[in-house]
Structure 1
Amino acid sequence: MIRRILSAIFLLWAFGFLWFAMALPGPAGKERTDAVVVPTGSGGRIARGLTILRTGQAEQLLVTGVDPEVKPGEFAAEYKVERRLMRCCITLGSDAVDTRGNALETAEWVSRHKIRSIRLVTADWHMRRAAAELAQELPDGVTVLRDAVPSQPSLRVTFLEYNKLLASQAMRLWDALA
């Protein structure tokens, strides 16, 4: 009996992993949101967030999880950001050190700026967990448009992210039941 239960759990995990790895989220369309939020991490995220800002698909940009030692001028030089855009429209958040911290930092920023809609830009393999963590923290009524940056994650990255997603969902369930 125990072997059957363990086998069923393993099969659920394995099929879930296959779905997770083969059905990675994709980029969003050109919908407009109040702001774009980009957690630091793998390549392409910040460039995508800046493109969205520059094309008028959002009015503000939060880059969450920036190293506290990075100064706005350094960021501007690295990503070739115009001084005007840096002053009016870009916030560098340095409180977060992980995905949960990104969600907390974003929720505080969204509340402070009275934002009603955001575009979340992160890697395709990271989108599901980042969006789930964010949904837990955002104020009611804030809509989130998922905009995944396509990548070619390694099997290791995919395996780790899938298990992190499962762990975060289990913790959320545990908290709800407690």
Structure 2
Amino acid sequence: MIVRALAALLLAWIAGFMAFALFLPQPAPDGITTEGIVVMTGGRGRVERGLALLETKHAKRLLISGADRRVRPRDLATQFKAPPALVDCCVDLGHESVDTRSNATEASGWIARNRYRSIRLVTSDWHMVRARYDLEAMIGDDIRIVADAVPTEPGLVDLVREYNKYVLRRVAGLIGI
């Protein structure tokens, strides 16, 4: 009986992992605008994507959540070749978060302060599912989230690690943690 239950659990994990790995989220269609953009730092192309969307007027403001405490707006403009005036006026650097869950906490506060009803979430394709889950748990269903995944080429170990983190977050959510 226990062996069957463990085998069923393993098969469910494998099926879930296959779906997770085969159907990674994609970039959002180009014509969609939102009030704000939230970039969760930690991977290549995320900040660049957020700044490009802001520059092309896909949103009014951009939060870069999880920015290093030493980073200043001018540094950001220089590093990513963004117009300094755009960065000064419309980019907020969040220095409080250290992981995905605290990114969601930081972003939810920013969304509430700005009274946004729609945001574009920018993060890596392999990170999007868990990032969106955590953010939705913080902000509820009232705010529209447009997932805008930055395409990557994650390795098997990265995918397994991220899938396990996602499964654990879902289980924690089910038991109220």
Matched, 1:166 2:167: yes
> Match of 2:149, as an amino acid?
A
Structure 2 distance, partners of 1:68, 1:39, is 15
- 1:113 corresponds to: 114
Count of matched residue positions in the alignment of Structure 1 and Structure 2: 176
Structure 1 unaligned runs (5+)? none
Confirm or deny: 8 A CA contact 2:36 2:118 kept in the other structure: yes
Structure 2 distance, partners of 1:84, 1:2, is 63
Cα-to-partner distance string for 1:73-109 (whole Å, 9 max, x where unaligned): 1111101121210121100100000000100000000
Confirm or deny: 8 A CA contact 1:117 1:142 kept in the other structure: yes
Cα-to-partner distance string for 1:89-147 (whole Å, 9 max, x where unaligned): 10010000000010000000011111110000110000000000000111552110001
- 1:23 corresponds to: 23
> Match of 2:41, as an amino acid?
T
Confirm or deny: 8 A CA contact 2:73 2:88 kept in the other structure: no
- 1:43 corresponds to: 44
> Match of 2:26, as an amino acid?
G
SS at match of 1:145: strand
- Aligned identity (percent) is 43
Confirm or deny: 8 A CA contact 1:64 1:92 kept in the other structure: yes
Structure 2 unaligned runs (5+)? none
Confirm or deny: 8 A CA contact 2:117 2:144 kept in the other structure: yes
- 1:82 corresponds to: 83
Structure 1 moving runs of 4+ over 4 Å? none
Structure 1 distance, partners of 2:171, 2:140, is 22
- 1:146 corresponds to: 147
Confirm or deny: 8 A CA contact 1:103 1:133 kept in the other structure: yes
> Match of 1:16, as an amino acid?
G
SS at match of 1:118: strand
SS at match of 1:175: coil
> Match of 1:15, as an amino acid?
A
Query: Could you state the TM-score of these two structures normalised by the residue count of structure 2?
Result: 0.96
> Match of 1:142, as an amino acid?
I
Structure 2 distance, partners of 1:55, 1:70, is 23
SS at match of 1:31: coil
- 1:70 corresponds to: 71
- 2:12 corresponds to: 12
